[in-house]
Amino acid sequence: MELAAVRPGGRAPVVKTFRRFEPDQVLLLPPSLADWLPEGHLARFVAELVDEVLDLDPFYADYTEGRGFPPHDPRLMVRLLIYGYISGVRSSRAIERRCVDDVGFRFLAAGQVPDFRSIAKFRRRHLAALAGLLLQSLRLAQRMGMARLGRVALDGVKLRAAASKHKAMSYDRLVARQEQLETEIADLEARIAAMLAEAESVDAAEDARLGADRRDEDRPAELARREARLAKVAAAMSSLQAEAADQARVKAEARERARQARSARRGADGGDDEGAQPGEVDQSRVRAVGQQAAEAAAPEPSAQRNFTDPDSRIMKNSDGAFIQAYNGQAVVDEDHQIIVAADVTTCASDVGSLLPMLDQAAGNAGHAPAQALADAGYCSADNLAALADRQAGGGCTEVLVATGRLPHGRPAPPPDELLADTATFKERMAHRLRTDPGRAAYARRKVIVEPVFGQLATLQSGKRLLLRGQDLARGEWRLLAGCHNFRKPFRGLGSAGRLTTALP
């Protein structure tokens, strides 16, 4: 007689009633997509945001041709891209897969599955309108009282480009590689000519096929590959030479204008140049000096150009590693960490972005922030002088820029009681930062802007760009910033709140 298996606890299994489970059950009516997601789900928020709040006219206005196969509705594609960029799913192939596997994407796409090529083409075609979502997200935050621009912080982050640093080559290596390729091509052409001459002497058919009437595609693949590589090397060298010439021209023209201004001031004070008038600049002389400097300019031997993404540069990130990257800039509001302005530069240094980013923030928000904080990477004599001029001209933004880095763990020295009238702009800024109000205000910089970069990296995979070229990288960075901003109203609504009812 067989005995029932007994569990280690001593109890035998019993006949148990389970819940009904019939995977092959045919449904009488199709299920509603609205029943797939709980209330308060991010996908529901995105659907409401796109359908009832955002202005989609820039997307529809781009369609000016009535002929052709009907494309996907821009409302559907914007839903998918916003949801993907908010949740860190940015690849067009990944979005296509999620439209099959992920309930949130299926809900937003209403059961449709756009091809990844269509998603990628839509993103590239409408990138300017997608980048404009940053401004719409800022307007939404302002309507909800989440961005008052009382205090903002500015910082930069290195964004990994969609290119390998191993595909970059310095100017001196480009010169050597060009010479090597020219030698290899000449050798190959000589060998091919010898082969053709031998073929002509022994085979009339070969003479007819490989004679003067042969097509370009009849060239050996080895020769075609080297010629294409030589063309890329020549283009990279030309780009570096043009960049060096432009930089030399700008610097030479600036020096010449300054020299003429000094001469005019000496002449006005009774110096040697009595005929010069204050403020007069000989523009023809300035252009001639700039052209002469441009013609004599040569790229630095270490200047590099990447073949995959020529606009990107090798930069050092926060981990100390050298990567092929862009420098992403962001201005963040203190209240709810809303990104007010965003941009991408090809310069690893932040110093040139201070004034443009402050101007962009004021333009996007409609008014200048009351106070702006920036670290020592933005400090320069020219920037501090320009900020002082703005303040003297009635500028309302108080900007605190760190003038240096104190040793770790050492408290800031006390402020000097008296500041000499001859103090430099840097000394005046350092004095302001050492006061109790200045020290308390600047201490807020990290807690305002640094968490935003962490959220972009962890929630949106936002430290790696997918699009190549500075213009496309700038558009994608602003799209990431706008989607970051959309997260803030969603978190403020609660589990069952609706965006349209929360708006004033």
Rounded to the nearest 5°, which phi and psi values hold at 286?
-60, -45
The string of DSSP letters for 387-451 reads HHHHHHTT---EEEE--S-PPTTPPPPPPPS---TT--HHHHHHHHHHSHHHHHHHTTHHHHHHH
CA distance 397 to 368: 6
Each residue's pLDDT tens digit in the chain (504 positions)? Answer: 444 455 556 677 787 776 776 777 777 766 777 788 888 899 999 999 999 999 999 999 888 888 888 889 999 999 999 999 999 999 999 999 999 999 999 999 988 899 999 999 999 999 999 999 999 999 999 999 898 888 999 999 999 998 888 777 665 666 676 666 667 667 766 776 776 666 666 555 545 544 545 554 455 676 666 666 667 666 766 766 777 677 777 777 777 777 777 777 666 655 444 444 455 677 888 788 778 777 777 767 766 777 788 888 889 888 888 899 999 999 999 999 999 999 999 999 999 999 999 999 999 999 999 999 999 999 998 899 889 888 876 666 889 999 887 666 666 667 666 666 777 888 888 888 888 888 899 999 999 999 999 999 998 887 899 999 999 999 999 999 999 999 999 988 776 668 888 787
pLDDT of residue 237: 66
Q: Where are the alpha helices (DSSP H) in 162-316?
A: 171-202, 204-209, 221-268, 283-296
Amino acid, single-letter form, for residue 446: K
- Contact indicator for 57, 124 with CB cutoff of 8 Å: no
CA 162 to the chain's CA centroid: 11
Q: What is the pLDDT of residue 365?
A: 92
pLDDT at 163: 85
Query: What tokens were used for 46?
Result: 């995105």
Q: Given this model, what pLDDT does residue 242 score?
A: 73
For residues 54 and 394, give the distance between their C-alpha atoms in angstroms, rounded to a whole number. Answer: 36
Rounded CA gap, 62 and 426, in Å?
A: 49
Q: What is the pLDDT of residue 26?
A: 75
Handedness of CA 34, 40, 46, 49 (dihedral sign): positive
Q: Write down the pLDDT at residue 204.
A: 55
pLDDT (0 to 100) of residue 140: 93
